[in-house]
Amino acid sequence: MDEKRPLILIVDDVALNRTLLSDVLCDKYDTIEAKNGNEALLILREKTSEISLVLLDMVMPEKDGMEVLTIMNKNGWINEIPVIMISVETSHSLIEGAYSLGVTDFIGRPFDEMVLRNRVNNTIRLYAKQKHLSDLVLNQIYEKTRNNSMMVTMLSHIVEFRNGESGMHVLHINTITEMLLRELLRRSKKYLINSDDIGIISTASSMHDIGKITIPSAILNKPGKLTPEEFNIMKGHTINCAQMLNAVPFGKDEPLMKYAYDICRWHHERWDGNGYPDGLKGDEIPIAAQIVSIADVYDALTSERCYKKAFTHEKALEMIHNNECGVFNPLLLECLDAIADRLVSSLQTFDWGKQADKDFFYIADSMMKDRNAPVYNQAFRQYINESKKSHFFCSMLDDIIFEYTYSPSVMKISTTGAQKLGLPNTITEDENPNGVPQNENWKKIKNILLRHTTPKDIPYSVRQTLYIDGKSTPCKIKVLQIWNNIPNEAPVLASVYGHIDVLQQN
Amino acid sequence: MSLSEFYSSLGESLDEVLGRLGMESRIVKYLGLFVSDPSFSELKEAFANNDVKTAFRAAHTLKGVAANLGLNTLSKSSSELTEDLRPLAFTENSKALLEKVELDYTVAVEGIKQLS
């Protein structure tokens, strides 16, 4: 099997010492050399996930071994990359210092090559095993989180479907709850919630209306005003849900269960005590329920329902402030005002894949913070950081950027780009053949994407007129193709990254 | 002069080095690299420039390299100089210790040059 050879970084200021080490190791390993601490750190930064072991000298110019170790600690590299220190140093306290900075082993000079080789082999084997195990756990967590989010989303959609509403309501509540929580945490330490709770509470918010499965459809979907009796039955969805959750035989102490209970039972309570079912007042109402109640009201106002038209964002805020939907916690109203500007665009750009990844980011973040269970997988860490980086840069750009995958056919367009083109952010054709926009721009772009082509490694451009903000405008579409190269098969065009340059009209 | 004669002439043992480094041809290669290693000239220069930090580092390096090649006399004298310089100040002994290192170094390098 053509397995990749582990890479060892040899750090020593003396050429003779580096040669000696790489001669010993070159039959089984690839080596890369640095002649001082600074060089070593540059290589470590570049190739963090590739290096399997560092052999480090202690006394060197331009950052000695101890300084290198200190920085490796600061960056968390020491948790992922084992270091064996090799030195003629005999001072007990210096060697102890090296161990306390995390070196796996210390080899004194003169060393026996056989011993060195075996220590290197063993260290690399142990770390590879550990890395493999942590990869396994991470993959499982990733799968589980995605499946859990999907499960919760599916269940809550079933409830929404019965209400005759699109699934968007639940997704909106998710987003609004999360934004309000973040703002609240920024403003106040009064409530006993921390950043780890944000993900759990916003997941629990999906379940706020599951009690409605106990309400007869005739009442649930009645177009006109409910009679007092009917309204009483409707109100029962809060208590009914609480009873259902109480009947679940396990998980009573799980945060998700507690938050779900609070939210289901009390998301119709109001700050002045005029809500239902228990007439709780002020902070007697758990904070998670207070937040979801605002999110619920905002989304109900701005959406069309069987008994009402949709209000605008501004009108909805005004009605909430005027207590037209009951009285809310003044601190939460401040939070709502603070996020108001971002709210509209966040709700428009929502997509489920992102939400599932977001849940995963929460877990990943709290795992990385956990000193007892550090994440060893540098590649994973880089993946998280890269994803965050590209999310951030895309949100900053005013340009039209898109990403198209061929199978399944999914087009994702940057937010402002989609607005300019008059297209949705995400276009999925395979699952949704009727939902494809009959839009000239989409037809033209797709023609270019589906053109027969041979593999190209560099971006190429196509000139094409498109409707930008409704006006026919000359544009330059620049695309980079990503081909899947499978051995012994013809290459397959997997995806395309694109940028649309709007040329000025003459 | 053979490799074994070289080590005997210095009062060292080739067998000890062979046990650690495996092959005669490799030992010869490293001795060649040792001759071109700048640590000793850096040490001298540092003394001339009153640069105790560089002097300490060079002595430390010399000690390690010599030890790995089984040049134990040189390693021992370099070690004494290293400890003398560790507080990063020249002492009244420093000069004499350097002279001993220079003597051991010169003997070793002269011997290496005569290897057949």
Q: Which of A145-149, A185-189, A237-241, A329-333 is predicted least confidently?
A: A145-149
- What pLDDT is recorded for position A373? 46
Q: Which of A482, A505, A477, A503 is nearest to A493 (CA)?
A: A482
Chain A closest-CA separation from residue B42 CA (Å): 12
Contacts with A, B 27-86, CB within 8 Å: 30, 33-34, 37, 39, 54, 56-57, 60-61, 63-65, 67-70, 75, 79
User: How many Å apart are CA A445 and CA A402, to the nearest integer?
Assistant: 11
Q: Is the pLDDT of residue B64 over 80?
A: yes
Q: What is the CA radius of gyration of chain A?
A: 29
Residue A290 lies in a domain: yes
Whether A113 and B22 lie within 8 Å, measured CB to CB: yes
Whose structure tokens read 């140093």?
Answer: A89
Q: Which of A39-48, A243-252, A486-495 is predicted least confidently?
A: A486-495
Higher pLDDT, A389 or A404: A404
Q: Contacts of residue A14 in chain B, CB cutoff 8 Å?
A: 37, 39, 61, 64-65
Taking only the tens place, the pLDDT of each residue in A23-50 is 989 889 999 999 999 999 999 988 888 8
* Domain that includes residue A19, residue range: 7-135
Whether A23 and B33 lie within 8 Å, measured CB to CB: no
Whether A109 and B19 lie within 8 Å, measured CB to CB: no
Percent helix, percent strand, percent coil in chain B, to nearest 5? 75, 0, 25
Residue A140 lies in a domain: no
Domains and their CATH numbers in chain B: 3-113 (1.20.120.160)
Q: Contacts of residue B73 in chain A, CB cutoff 8 Å?
A: none
Same domain flag for A108 and A17: yes
Chain B closest-CA separation from residue A56 CA (Å): 14
Residue A81 lies in a domain: yes
Mean pLDDT of B84-100: 93
- What pLDDT is recorded for position B46? 94
CATH number at residue A31: 3.40.50.2300
- What pLDDT is recorded for position A269? 96
> Burial, A325: exposed, middle or buried (Cβ in 10 Å; 0-12, 13-18, 19+)?
middle
Taking only the tens place, the pLDDT of each residue in B9-55 is 988 989 988 988 888 888 999 999 999 999 999 999 999 999 999 99
- What pLDDT is recorded for position A397? 65
Give the residue from chain A lying closest to B65, CA to CA.
Answer: A17
Same domain flag for A78 and A212: no
Same domain flag for A90 and A235: no
- What pLDDT is recorded for position A392? 66
List CB contacts of A181: < 8 A, sequence separation 6 or more: A193, A197, A198, A201, A202, A291
User: How many Å apart are CA A449 and CA A402, to the nearest integer?
Assistant: 11
Q: Which of A59-68, A263-272, A283-292 is predicted least confidently?
A: A59-68
Same domain flag for A333 and A192: yes
Question: In this prediction, what percent of chain A has a pLDDT beyond 90?
Answer: 35
Crossing angle of helices B24-36 and B14-21, in 10° steps, is 100
Q: Which of A9-13, A217-221, A428-432, B112-116 is predicted least confidently?
A: A428-432
- What pLDDT is recorded for position A261? 94
Same domain flag for A191 and A328: yes
Structure tokens at A276: 């239902």
Same domain flag for A125 and A167: no
A374 pLDDT band (50/70/90 cuts)? very low
- What pLDDT is recorded for position A384? 61
Residue A239 lies in a domain: yes
C-alpha A374: how far from its chain's center?
Answer: 18
Total length of chain A: 506
List CB contacts of A393: < 8 A, sequence separation 6 or more: none
Same domain flag for A102 and A190: no
User: How many Å apart are CA A257 and CA A265, to the nearest integer?
Assistant: 12
Closest CB to A110 among B22, B39, B67:
B67
Q: Is the pLDDT of residue A221 over 50?
A: yes
Chain B closest-CA separation from residue A39 CA (Å): 18
Residue A366 φ/ψ, nearest 5 degrees: -75, -25
Chain B closest-CA separation from residue A125 CA (Å): 23
Whether B37 and A13 lie within 8 Å, measured CB to CB: no
Structure tokens at A279: 């007439």
Taking only the tens place, the pLDDT of each residue in A67-90 is 999 999 988 888 889 999 999 888
ipTM over 0.85: no
Same domain flag for A175 and A121: no
Whose structure tokens read 């007869």?
Answer: A216
Residue A130 lies in a domain: yes
Q: Which of A29-38, A109-118, A447-456 is predicted least confidently?
A: A447-456
Chain A closest-CA separation from residue B92 CA (Å): 23
- What pLDDT is recorded for position A162? 72
Torsion angle (degrees, nearest 10) of CA A432, A437, A441, A443: 60
Same domain flag for A482 and A419: yes
* Residue type at A402 in one-letter notation: F
Give the total number of structural domains in chain A: 3
Among A290, A322, A349, which residue terminates a domain? A349
Structure tokens at A364: 């990943």
User: How many Å apart are CA A244 and CA A241, to the nearest integer?
Assistant: 5
Q: Residue A252: beta bridge partners?
A: none
Structure tokens at A471: 């006006």
A357 pLDDT band (50/70/90 cuts)? low
A99 pLDDT band (50/70/90 cuts)? very high
Mean pLDDT of B63-83: 94
Q: Is the pLDDT of residue A370 over 70?
A: no
Give the residue from chain A lying closest to B56, CA to CA.
Answer: A59
Residue A362 lies in a domain: no
Torsion angle (degrees, nearest 10) of CA A185, A188, A194, A195: 20
Same domain flag for A30 and A107: yes
User: How many Å apart are CA A62 and CA B49, to the nearest integer?
Assistant: 19
Same domain flag for A129 and A226: no
Residue A197 lies in a domain: yes
Task: Give the single-character DSSP code of A3.
Answer: P
User: How many Å apart are CA A223 and CA A24, to the nearest integer?
Assistant: 82
Closest CB to B39 among A14, A20, A110:
A14
Q: Which of A456, A473, A366 is nearest to A141 (CA)?
A: A366
Residue A380 lies in a domain: no
Same domain flag for A113 and A193: no
CATH number at residue A183: 1.10.3210.10
CATH number at residue A478: 3.30.450
List CB contacts of A332: < 8 A, sequence separation 6 or more: A180, A184, A290, A291, A294
Strands A471-484 and A492-502: antiparallel
Strands A410-413 and A400-405: antiparallel
